[in-house]
Amino acid sequence: PLKLKLTHCPTSPDRNSSLVVQSKMADFGTGKRSRDRQEEDMMDDSDEEELTLDQADDMEDVQVELDLVDLEEKDYHSTKQFLLNYLDGKVFLTTDLADLIVTRKEIGTSIRVNGTDDSYGFVSVLNMHHHAGVKAILEIRNHMLQKCADKATRDVLVSLFTDSSKGLGLLLNERMVNIPDALAPPLHQNLFDEIAIAFNTEKAAAAPGTQLYWDIENYIFITTIYLESLPTRVPTGKRNKQQNEESLYRYQKAEDEIYLKHASVRCEWAGRKVPHAMTGVSLTEMRVLAVVNRSKIPVILKELAET
């Protein structure tokens, strides 16, 4: 059995939060989970959570300790690397984007293997209206509009991009494929906690009436999910078809399923076909663009914590 230990350190105003996740990674994505959980309260001292995963015994266990730490300058190159394929292989100014991300001090988390400088993933949010002049942001906007086939959705996107009274946050959430999903709840919880703190700090310091960076109404993001190809079959009815469609999506990152469930806008386009690592079944890589309103965030975080 795998043991996953989470220790949550309190988030202080100067954001020295780090979570330590100790995990034995063997087989990924299979097996049952049983959980013994305590109520998590931010203001208290360290809480402990223990998750036990039952896994097949025939695989070798690799002891890995993952830290969630603040993004810093040394994450620049790995962050840039993760973003290279953000626009489906189109070359864009990842340098500027990575620069914006690692220099944002108030929020942003990097997943690091304990003791090393290697970043295995990161999460951050950038206010698209405040960075509207940055070429990389423009390129992302144009790409989103270009890839969205449906005109109605495109119009919604255009209004989101142009209405600067409603802050639009670009949520960037990338990591390596085999990072355990148990990392996602604290990762995202931490992100939104940091945003809340940053918002309060900014509000206290700013003159009344100014458009705050952290006053984000909607979060927009692009992620990759997989669509399993159906063997050819005659559709027997609307209800039948719907049931089949829902079960076909495979989520690389567990939180994607929950975010997409609560998305107000959703747009997807197909990428290449890849074989599933375990079963060899052909999957189509789908790039999904989605927008989530801030009112849905607490629900999402709650559902994420329960998975």
Partner 1 sequence: RIVGRMVAGNRKGLLVPTTTTDKELQHIRNLLPDSVRVQRVEERLSALGNVLVCNDYVALIHPDLEKETEEIIADVLDVEVFRQTIAKSPLVGSFATITNQGALVHPHTSLEDLEELASLLQVPVVAGTVNRGSGVIGGGLIANDWVAFTGMDTTATEISVVESIFKLQATTSSDLLQDIRTSLIDTM
Chain residues in the site for partner 1 (CB under 8 A)? 73, 76-77, 80, 93, 95
The three-state secondary structure class of 107 is coil
What's the min distance (Å) between Cβ of 49 and partner 1? 37
What's the min distance (Å) between Cβ of 96 and partner 1? 9
Give the residue carrying structure tokens 């780090």: 18
CA distance 214 to 55: 42
**Given the complex with partner 1, which of 104 and 261 has the nearer CB atom?**
104
**Given the complex with partner 1, which of 27 and 96 has the nearer CB atom?**
96
159 CB contacts (<8 Å, ≥6 apart)?
none
Task: Find out whether 30 and 39 touch, Cβ atoms under 8 Å.
Answer: no
What's the min distance (Å) between Cβ of 78 and partner 1? 12
Residues recorded for the chain:
307
What's the min distance (Å) between Cβ of 142 and partner 1? 20
**Given the complex with partner 1, which of 77 and 203 has the nearer CB atom?**
77
**Given the complex with partner 1, which of 30 and 81 has the nearer CB atom?**
81
Task: Find out whether 88 and 132 touch, Cβ atoms under 8 Å.
Answer: no
Tokens found for residue 71: 């993004």
- Residue 170's nearest CA partner among 111, 106, 213, 212 is 213
CA distance 156 to 167: 14
**Given the complex with partner 1, which of 36 and 73 has the nearer CB atom?**
73
Query: What is the b/e burial string over 60-86, where b = at least 16 CB atoms within 10 angstroms of the residue's CB?
Result: eeeebebbbbbbeeebbebbbebbeeb
What's the min distance (Å) between Cβ of 87 and partner 1? 16
